[in-house]
A and B are shown apart, each in its own frame.
Chain A
Amino acid sequence: MKKIVFTVVMIIAAVIFILPVIATLALSFWNGGEVSAEGYSDLLFNCFVFYPMFWNSVIYAAVITAVQLVVIIPCAFAFSQAKFKGKGLLFTFYIVLMMMPLQVTVLPNYIGLRDLGLLNTAWGIILPMIFSPFGVVVMHQYMKSTDSAIIEATRLETNSIFRIILTAVVPQLRVCIFAVVLFVFADCWNMVEQPMLFLNDDSLKTMSVFIVNAADYTGHVLFPASVIFIVPVFLLYLFFSDSLEKGLTFGEIS
């Protein structure tokens, strides 16, 4: 009996939550008072800027996610295994950096990128995001739950850090890595201010910028673009969701 009540409540909750998404989907087929796929045809056939922007989003997010993994896994490993003074403080600093709101960091980032000559280039977007503290913090949390025994065992076999990480840590944390990939990809996929402010060329901008400026393009492309926008990340989620079921554990915060 309880189970039925719970189930019903759950379904209602799920429906409420997905309502806006369904509304977006519905509105993408709604054009000037009637059902039509004109929005999609406007977007796919008339908006030539859409395609490069879409691929930019994909490329930036993919590159950022891939390289970030290479950076944060060793870093999180170090946080959990190495012993040195000030480790806690350093990590807290990472957390504080993670919290900085965008309005604050925009100007110094802009000046920094300008001094490095990275303004209006793809690398100006990719490089800062690769080193975003968010990934390190999340990865570190997962890293705590690794089985030290396996790591000790591997240490006896080899001295190379890379081998240790690759053979001992990564297989254990495979699922966690999937989760991190999902979060980081979604984060990059949604970023809007950086492309808008640090890029001038339309050919380098991302789809999130396209949607913000959707009113400037002919036709009703806002909702169709929103729908298409959701698709890649949702696919990624579906791809990983089974693995996510199987297990993610967290260690302590510090």
Chain B
Amino acid sequence: MKKLKRLSFNTKCKLCLLPSLAGTLLFFVIPYFRVLYYSVIDNQFRRNFVFLDNYIETVQNEYFLLALLNSLILIAVCVPVLIILALLISLFLSFGIRKLKALRASFVLPMVIPTAGIVLIWRTVFTDTSTPLPIYLLFIWKNIGICIVLLTAALTAADRSVYEAAKLDGAGSWTLHRKITLPMIAPTILFSVLLSIVNSFRIFKESYLFYGTNYPPDHSYTLQYFMNNNFLRLDYQSLATSAVLTSAVVFLIVLCGIFIQRRYNR
């Protein structure tokens, strides 16, 4: 017993990581390395190493590039719109009339509604499939809830005193928000951006049900379609390589985010 007590606080903290690490290792890390392994062999059964051949093939595949492009466009267009919209609504809810706070519920509900029924409604409303707009709108609609919850909570917790003081100094509404509120909740905003990017990868099911086919119009052909179609054609190698490439891209984005934040803090 005495020995245990001598463990430093630091070590004990590290031990706390153990359950999560073990579980993550078993259920997430090992599968990821399996995917990595599958991406460098030619075939599930023959298991010949081909190293980077699969990667070269995938990178040259025009449909992979199309899918990657569409996915990135989705992120580049929808995420900013989503965050700005969520910010505006959160600001209105936090600084507006008290009673309006109840309205927040109506933004959160879309988060939990099951897709199957919603897509039916969406299809009757949006009949024009020449642009990916319906999918973008669906994405924004579904994900605004979580961003609003995060942002309003952060706004509520922000220290009002600074705000009040600045207002007394005669600052206008816009300057107020721009110079004080936004910086205060900047970490939350960044996190919301991250979360939205993650959720943008989950939009596949909705899109699939909306278009009703494995081959949607070119503008909506995202990475998941590429992966899913290859999966059904038993071509796991394309799937694995595109997954690894995507995770590399995501890794870079996250690194950028951290970098921006670090620089911002100085």
Q: Do chains A and B touch in the complex (CB under 8 A)?
A: yes
B261: A residues at CB distance < 8 A: 252-254
Known: A82-B17, A96-B254, A101-B224. 12 other contacts (CB 8 A): A10-B93, A21-B109, A71-B19, A96-B247, A96-B250, A97-B29, A97-B32, A100-B243, A141-B191, A161-B16, A211-B117, A247-B153
Which residue in chain B gives the minimum CB-CB distance to A9?
B92
- Expressed in whole angstroms, the Cα–Cα distance for A249 and B156 within the complex equals 9
Confirm or deny: B3 has a beta carbon within 8 angstroms of a beta carbon on chain A: no
Confirm or deny: A7 has a beta carbon within 8 angstroms of a beta carbon on chain B: yes
Instruction: Give 25 A-B contacts (CB < 8 Å), ordered by A residue.
Output: A10-B93, A10-B96, A13-B89, A24-B113, A24-B117, A70-B19, A78-B13, A82-B13, A96-B251, A97-B24, A98-B198, A102-B202, A128-B28, A141-B191, A159-B5, A159-B9, A161-B13, A175-B153, A190-B114, A208-B114, A222-B116, A226-B116, A234-B112, A248-B154, A254-B258
B89: A residues at CB distance < 8 A: 10, 13
A-B pairs with CB below 8 Å: how many? 263
In the complex, how many residues of chain A place their beta carbon closer than 8 angstroms to a beta carbon of chain B? 94
Confirm or deny: B74 has a beta carbon within 8 angstroms of a beta carbon on chain A: no
Which residue in chain A gives the minimum CB-CB distance to B85?
A13
- Residue contact B20 to A141, C-beta cutoff 8 Å: no
B236: A residues at CB distance < 8 A: 107
**Max chain A Cβ within 10 angstroms of own Cβ: one of B19, B24, B205:** B24
Which B residues between 229 and 261 are near A, CB-CB below 8 angstroms?
Answer: 231, 236, 239-240, 243, 246-247, 250-251, 254-255, 257-258, 261
Confirm or deny: A54 has a beta carbon within 8 angstroms of a beta carbon on chain B: no
Confirm or deny: A217 has a beta carbon within 8 angstroms of a beta carbon on chain B: no
- Residue contact A104 to B251, C-beta cutoff 8 Å: no
- Expressed in whole angstroms, the Cα–Cα distance for A248 and B5 within the complex equals 35
- Residue contact B240 to A230, C-beta cutoff 8 Å: no
Query: For this complex, into which size category does the number of interface residues on chain B fall?
Result: 35 or more
Confirm or deny: A119 has a beta carbon within 8 angstroms of a beta carbon on chain B: no
Partner of B16, one of A13, A77, A98: A77
Q: Is the interface of A mostly helix, strand, loop or mixed?
A: helix
Stretch at the interface among B45-53, B97-105, B175-183: B97-105
Confirm or deny: A27 has a beta carbon within 8 angstroms of a beta carbon on chain B: yes
Partner of B243, one of A88, A101, A237, A245: A101
- Expressed in whole angstroms, the Cα–Cα distance for A183 and B150 within the complex equals 11
